[in-house]
Amino acid sequence: MSRVEGAATDVVDATRASSSPSDQHSPTAPHAPEGPRPMYSLTDVVKTYSQKKKTVTALAGVTLEIPAGQMVAIQGPTGGGKSTLLQMLGALDRPTSGTVRLGETDLSGAGDHALAAARGREIGFVFQGFNLIPTLTAAENVETAFADGSVPRDERRRRAAAALASVGLAERADHLPVELSGGQQQRVAIARALVKEPTVLLADEPTGSLDEATRDEIMDLLEGVWRERGLTLVVVTHDSAVARRAERRLRLEGGRVTEI
């Protein structure tokens, strides 16, 4: 699934010449820059957290490029900085220093509004704990992705139903989370993450709460949507069986990243 299209050229200039983000992310865009187009470019990313008088360094200088369309696994010990890195990639937070670029957008220099816009346009999230709202049905949970009100109600309903069908849960649209198995709940969360058709899917321990058979089903689903949609997929995992499915494996320990 590599998007290497030829010899490397000046990707930065070619990126600037692109007229819109959708052109830039489309593998079939006319005059697409040659070579792998970076979805993410991180340079010297440092993230520290201050707690009372202590400062914790979660990311200690991460420099990393992730080409569009790649499937990457991130492994490493608890406290190694994996979730913090995913928050940077997900435009949920800004680094203390260094730069994070998503396509043409500099997330590190962006204001809250621009970060929220980038999230809404480009990024889907999946978490270990599913993060569904317990009082809403599966379909209503998927529809929460449209909470900004930009999409009319009928279209929201139609798209939520289609997203649930695409994860094999058409029959469960009216069920509450408590009426669904863990694997089914994670499918709802994946439908919610995909319903706005993001270019990037970020998953933080997506199979961490599931048994092995369900883990494999969920990974089959994630890998399937990655292939079909040409997403950039970043999966944080403790589980080597999950990580082995990725095209590229990174290890994050002590806030520093290495290739495996």
Ligand X SMILES: Nc1ncnc2c1ncn2[C@@H]1O[C@H](COP(=O)(O)OP(=O)(O)O)[C@@H](O)[C@H]1O
CB under 5 to 8 A by kind: which of ligand X, Mg ion, none does 84 bind? ligand X
Smallest gap from residue 249 Cβ to ligand X (A):
15
- Site residues for ligand X, window 98-137 (CB under 6 A)? none
Residues 80-99 as x/- pattern, contact with Mg ion by CB under 5 A = --xx----------------
Whose Cβ is closer to ligand X: residue 56's or residue 260's?
Answer: 56
What per-residue string of b and e applies to 93-115 under the rule 16 or more CB within 10 Å gives b?
ebbbebbbbbbebebbebeeeeb
Whose Cβ is closer to ligand X: residue 17's or residue 49's?
Answer: 49
The CA distance from 23 to 30, in Å, is 8
Whose Cβ is closer to ligand X: residue 34's or residue 253's?
Answer: 253
Whose Cβ is closer to ligand X: residue 78's or residue 150's?
Answer: 78
Task: From 51-59, 96-104, 157-165, 183-191, give the range in contact with ligand X by CB under 6 A.
Answer: 51-59
List of residues 6+ apart from 24 with CB closer than 8 A: 15, 18, 37, 103, 104
Residues 58-97 as x/- pattern, contact with ligand X by CB under 6 A = x-----------------x-xxxxxxx-------------
Q: Take residue 20 and report the two structure tokens written for it.
A: 């819109």
Phi, psi of 5 (to 5 degrees): -110, 0
What per-residue string of b and e applies to 150-174 under the rule 16 or more CB within 10 Å gives b?
ebeeeebbebbbebbebbebeebbe
The CA distance from 178 to 212, in Å, is 21
Smallest gap from residue 129 Cβ to Mg ion (A):
11
CB under 5 to 8 A by kind: which of ligand X, Mg ion, none does 56 bind? ligand X
Whose Cβ is closer to ligand X: residue 79's or residue 129's?
Answer: 79
Q: Are 185 and 137 spatial neighbours (Cβ–Cβ below 8 Å)?
A: no
Rg (CA), the chain: 18
Whose Cβ is closer to ligand X: residue 80's or residue 183's?
Answer: 80
From the list 13, 51, 178, 259, which residue makes contact with ligand X (rule: CB under 6 A)?
Answer: 51
The CA distance from 192 to 53, in Å, is 39
Total of residues contacting ligand X (CB under 6 A): 12
The CA distance from 181 to 159, in Å, is 23
Q: Are 235 and 76 spatial neighbours (Cβ–Cβ below 8 Å)?
A: no
3-state secondary structure 97-114: EEEEEECCEEHHHCCHHH
Whose Cβ is closer to Mg ion: residue 46's or residue 170's?
Answer: 46
Total of residues contacting Mg ion (CB under 5 A): 2
The residue to which tokens 């990311």 are assigned = 59
From the list 4, 22, 49, 227, which residue makes contact with ligand X (rule: CB under 6 A)?
Answer: 49
Task: From 49-57, 58-66, 79-87, 241-249, give the range in contact with Mg ion by CB under 5 A.
Answer: 79-87
Note the residues at the interface with Mg ion (CB under 5 A): 82-83
* Residues near ligand X, by CB under 6 A: 49, 51, 56, 58, 76, 78-84
